[in-house]
Structure 1
Amino acid sequence: MDEKDWTALKMLYEEKNISHTSERLYISQPALTYRLKNLEKEFQTTLFFKVKGGIEFTAEGAYLARYSDEMINHLQRTKDHMSNLQGEVKGTLRLGVSSNFAQYKLPKILKSFSTRYPNVQFNVNTGWSTDIMNQLDSSQVQLGILRGNHDWYGKKQLLHKEKLCLISSEEVEMEKLPDLPFINYKTDTSLDSLIKGWWHDRYSKPPFVTMETDRQQTCKEMVKNGLGIAIVPEICLEPSDNLYNYELLYRNGDSVERNTWIMYSEDSLQLSTVKSFIEFLNDHPGI
């Protein structure tokens, strides 16, 4: 097996579909099928079988797919350390970043960092913070930027605190919120719990939910058009939104805040790319 075989088998195990896998690999289905048949010949076993809508892996195929995942990670770590041995800040920096931070903060950070370190390339995965935690645990990324509070065995450093805000297209009275149309959006469990905790602290009635959206940005557009109120992190608000926004406060007067963390393993600090990126974030907290 070589690196292309490992990658093909790993992606096929994720997709459980030949056509979807070939699209992700940018190769034809016949080329992918030929490569997989050669693997079956090499190991003298059947790796998968067809089912309605896709394929299922045999026990041997699943074992080899997990082996492929380990080998890809091992090869990437080897490449990282080989770049590091040359004494320069260069190589590929693999980041896992929560979606909101990636949308509103990360582009400016990466642009400034790459200006200082032009020989560093970026491999960025974005998603909910729970997804980034899984990527950290499996070493798919070297460093995670996550929002909310998560348990982590490695290094964990607070990047900044952020307020939550109620937004509306017109002025509202906070004591009347339970009677106003409320727009929900899909988000990770940590933010959802924070919002619900504040609501239960302030009101005995549940919110009057009139709409559910799949994205925070969609929710904000609905609010702009006067369809209801919503609660969002401060990071996604811009002056051009022309919205009324109200800082959320608990009954005791404390602000409702959400933490953004940098998380990484102790071993990753041996890499000049990771170490330099963390130092850059610490030196530029306002970016």
Structure 2
Amino acid sequence: MEDRDWLILQVLHNEKNITKAAKSLYISQPALTHRLQLIEKEFGVQIVNRGRRGIQFTPQGEYLAKCAKEILLRIQKMKENVLNMDSKVAGTLKLGVANFFAHYHLPTLLKRFKDQYPAIEFKVSTAWSSDITNLVYNQDAHIGFIRGDYSWQEKKQLLFEETICIASKEKIHISDLPHLPRINYQPDYLLKSVVDNWWAENYSQPPLTSIEVDKADTCKEMVVNGLGYAIMSSMLFNGIDDIHKIDIRTKEGEPILRKTWMIYHEDSLKLNMVKAFVTFMEGIDLSKPL
């Protein structure tokens, strides 16, 4: 078995489709099928069953796919440890990043870090914060950037806090919200829970949702164009002067805050590149424009 064969098993198991797996691996479909047949011949078992809806892994295939994940992780750690044996800060730093953070902060941060450590490369995965937490927990990412107070028992650093606001093009009164057109988007479940609980505490009727979108940036543009109000992160409207914002508050009058964290495993600090990046982030104040 070559290292690439284990990668083929892992990607194929994730995709459950030979065409998609071949595309992800940048090889042709016949080449992938041929490698899979050689793996099956080597182990003397059938790894997948092919059907109209894609492929299904046999019990033996499931076992080998699990082994593939463990072996690839072990190979990755060996490579990292070899690079770590001298004092150079080098290697591929794997980051799991919440979508908002990736869009508004990450490019500038990576540019600054790369200027200091040119031998570093990056592999960035963007997803919901809950998925990023799992990536870091499973060591599929060295460092994660998440928004919201997700459960994390290892090392974490608070990067900044932001208020959640009612944003609108025209000035509105908070008591009128149930009768005004609302633009809604699909946030992560923690933020949705916070906003839904706030609404239930303050109103006895549901919001008058006029537009549903899937992304926060689309929702923001709808607000900027005067199509309704939205309840979302106030930071999204930084630099936009003609938007009215009302911070939502608890019953005690305290602003409801959303926190952004950097998370990682303490053991990962043994890697020069991770330690260097964590130290770099400790010197950055994200509450101010970069």
TM norm structure 2: 0.95
Higher mean Cα deviation, 270-279 or 247-256?
247-256
Instruction: Point out where structure 1 has 5 or more consecutive residues left out of the alignment.
Output: none
Which position in structure 1 is the counterpart of 2:15? 15
Which position in structure 2 is the counterpart of 1:48? 48
| Residue 62 of structure 2 is aligned to residue 62 of structure 1 | yes
| Residue 118 of structure 2 is aligned to residue 118 of structure 1 | yes
Which position in structure 2 is the counterpart of 1:247? 247
Shift of the alpha carbon at 1:165? 1.6
Which position in structure 2 is the counterpart of 1:279? 279
| Residue 151 of structure 2 is aligned to residue 151 of structure 1 | yes
In 1: Cα distance, 2:237 partner to 2:272 partner: 34
Shift of the alpha carbon at 1:2? 1.7
State whether residues 234 and 245 of structure 2, in contact with CA within 8 Å, keep that contact through their aligned partners in structure 1: no
Which position in structure 1 is the counterpart of 2:88? 88
Report the number of matched residues: 287
Which position in structure 2 is the counterpart of 1:32? 32
Which position in structure 1 is the counterpart of 2:184? 184
Counterpart of 2:252 in 1: which secondary structure? Answer: coil
Give the letter for the 2:113 counterpart.
F
Shift of the alpha carbon at 1:118? 1.1
Shift of the alpha carbon at 1:125? 0.6
State whether residues 104 and 235 of structure 1, in contact with CA within 8 Å, keep that contact through their aligned partners in structure 2: no
In 2: Cα distance, 1:240 partner to 1:229 partner: 15
Which position in structure 2 is the counterpart of 1:166? 166
Counterpart of 1:239 in 2: which secondary structure? Answer: coil
Shift of the alpha carbon at 1:244? 2.1
TM norm structure 1: 0.96
Which position in structure 2 is the counterpart of 1:106? 106
In 2: Cα distance, 1:151 partner to 1:238 partner: 29
Shift of the alpha carbon at 1:116? 1.1
Instruction: Point out where structure 2 has 5 or more consecutive residues left out of the alignment.
Output: none
Shift of the alpha carbon at 1:224? 2.2
Cα RMSD after superposing both structures: 1.4
Give the letter for the 1:208 counterpart.
L
Higher mean Cα deviation, 149-158 or 175-184?
149-158
Shift of the alpha carbon at 1:265? 0.8
In 1: Cα distance, 2:66 partner to 2:186 partner: 31
Deviations 1:101-159 (A, max 9, x none): 11101111111111111111111111100110111121100111111011123212212
Give the letter for the 2:187 counterpart.
T
Shift of the alpha carbon at 1:161? 1.0
Which position in structure 1 is the counterpart of 2:267? 267
In 1: Cα distance, 2:40 partner to 2:121 partner: 35
In 1: Cα distance, 2:225 partner to 2:161 partner: 29
Deviations 1:203-223 (A, max 9, x none): 232211222211111111222
- What is the percentage of aligned positions where both structures have the same residue? 41
Shift of the alpha carbon at 1:241? 7.1
Moved over 4 A (4+): none
Give the letter for the 1:48 counterpart.
V
Q: 1:70 to 1:189 in 2, by over 3 A?
A: same
Give the letter for the 1:137 counterpart.
Y
Give the letter for the 1:69 counterpart.
K
Deviations 1:35-84 (A, max 9, x none): 00000000000000112221111000011011111111111111111111
Counterpart of 1:160 in 2: which secondary structure? Answer: strand
Higher mean Cα deviation, 195-204 or 103-112?
195-204
